[in-house]
Amino acid sequence: MEALLQVLESTMAVRDPYTVGHQRRVSQIACTIGREMGLSEDRLRDLRIAGALHDLGKFAIPSDLLSKPGKLTPPEFALIKTHPQVAYNILSPITLPGNTAQIILQHHERMNGSGYPQGLKGEEILLEARILGVADVMEAMCSHRPYRASRGLTEALDELTRNNGILYDAAVVETCLQLYGQDLPAPWQVSAGPPSLRVVTPLSPDSPGDGVRPHEIFSGVRALSQAVAGKSRPWAKLGSKGPRSWLHLGSASIMGWLIMASFRGW
């Protein structure tokens, strides 16, 4: 399973390195919340994997739309809203542990039924999906995006508080506020380079998602991206880089096939 995660993440990083980093940070936040709420190790495993793959469906959305500044048109937003279902369809042929695929499918569902893609309400939504949804909002609001600056931790916590029990699960929000409230060090650090998120884990240091080394994901990706862009002689470059580059090329082909299969099956 870890090898599969690395292949999928590496393939996504060729096209959208930001989303890979976002998924990893969301996974870490979600597991911190889940562990505090007493989830079993099996459920934390499912949550960690779901967090690491929850935006996989964005691979099928044009990159200029994902980074578009300003308000999306209704047709554009409708396309964005397909990404949980597309991710679920891509992953359906794969035997994922537990409820991982369903957690990914439901991570944009909301307590009052206003979410997507199924419009589920309250307890119809898996607890892990409710946790993932809150973690997703936290990370998204506190990170810089291509089309806007970070809104900050305070505004993110205000959003969760305003919609506590309306959009977001009350117990999950309460746990999140306890972990990331004003009495704890702020978990976000803005660097001079690409934005990064340091997740404060006031619990066990070996919790799921800890110890992630992003450079392991991006190793070997640059040569493939240059080849795709036509900036190098791809076969000579890939041959000189050894099996890892061939792995990335193969994973890109596999991803393309999975996306086409998902649309046919949707």
For 4-69, give the secondary structure using H, E and C. HHHHHHHHHHHHCHHHHHHHHHHHHHHHHHHHHCCCCHHHHHHHHHHHHHCCHHHHHCCHHHHCCC
Of 138, 82, 130, nearest in space to 109 by CA:
130
Tell me what the pLDDT averaged over the chain comes to. Answer: 74
C-alpha separations of 114 from 50, 120, 159, 242, 260 in Å: 21, 8, 16, 49, 29
The set of residues, in sequence order, having a beta carbon less than 8 Å from that of 37 and lying 6+ positions away, is 127, 131, 171, 172, 175
pLDDT of residue 243: 42
As a whole number of angstroms, the distance between CA 72 and CA 78 comes to 9
Of 32, 47, 36, 51, nearest in space to 198 by CA:
32
Lowest-confidence pick of 44-58, 124-138, 185-199: 185-199
Residue predicted with more confidence, 119 or 221: 119
The set of residues, in sequence order, having a beta carbon less than 8 Å from that of 73 and lying 6+ positions away, is none
Question: 119 and 105 in contact (C-beta within 8 Å)?
Answer: no
pLDDT of residue 85: 97
What percent of the chain has a predicted confidence (pLDDT) above 70? Answer: 67
Interval 117-121 mean pLDDT: 97
pLDDT of residue 187: 46
Residue predicted with more confidence, 235 or 262: 262
Of 148, 205, 176, nearest in space to 18 by CA:
148
pLDDT tens digits, residue range 128-175?
999 999 999 999 999 887 667 888 888 999 999 999 999 999 999 999
Estimate the share of the chain in helix, then strand, then coil, as percent rounded to the nearest 5.
60, 5, 35
Q: How confident is the model at residue 1 (pLDDT cuts 50, 70, 90)?
A: confident
How many Cβ atoms from other residues are within 10 Å of residue 1's Cβ? 12
Instruction: Look at residue 219 and tell me whether its pLDDT is greater than 60.
Output: no
pLDDT of residue 6: 78
pLDDT of residue 13: 74
Instruction: Look at residue 228 and tell me whether its pLDDT is greater than 70.
Output: no
Burial 55-68 (b: 16+ CB within 10 A, else e): bbbbbbbeeeebee
Q: What are phi and psi of 192, to 5 degrees?
A: -70, -25
The set of residues, in sequence order, having a beta carbon less than 8 Å from that of 75 and lying 6+ positions away, is none
Of 132, 95, 107, nearest in space to 209 by CA:
132
pLDDT tens digits, residue range 39-53?
999 999 999 999 999
pLDDT of residue 182: 55
Instruction: Look at residue 119 and tell me whether its pLDDT is greater than 90.
Output: yes
pLDDT of residue 210: 32
Instruction: Look at residue 95 and tell me whether its pLDDT is greater than 50.
Output: yes
Instruction: Look at residue 250 and tell me whether its pLDDT is greater than 50.
Output: no
Domains and CATH numbers, the chain: 2-265 (1.10.3210.10)
Residue predicted with more confidence, 265 or 52: 52
Interval 222-241 mean pLDDT: 32
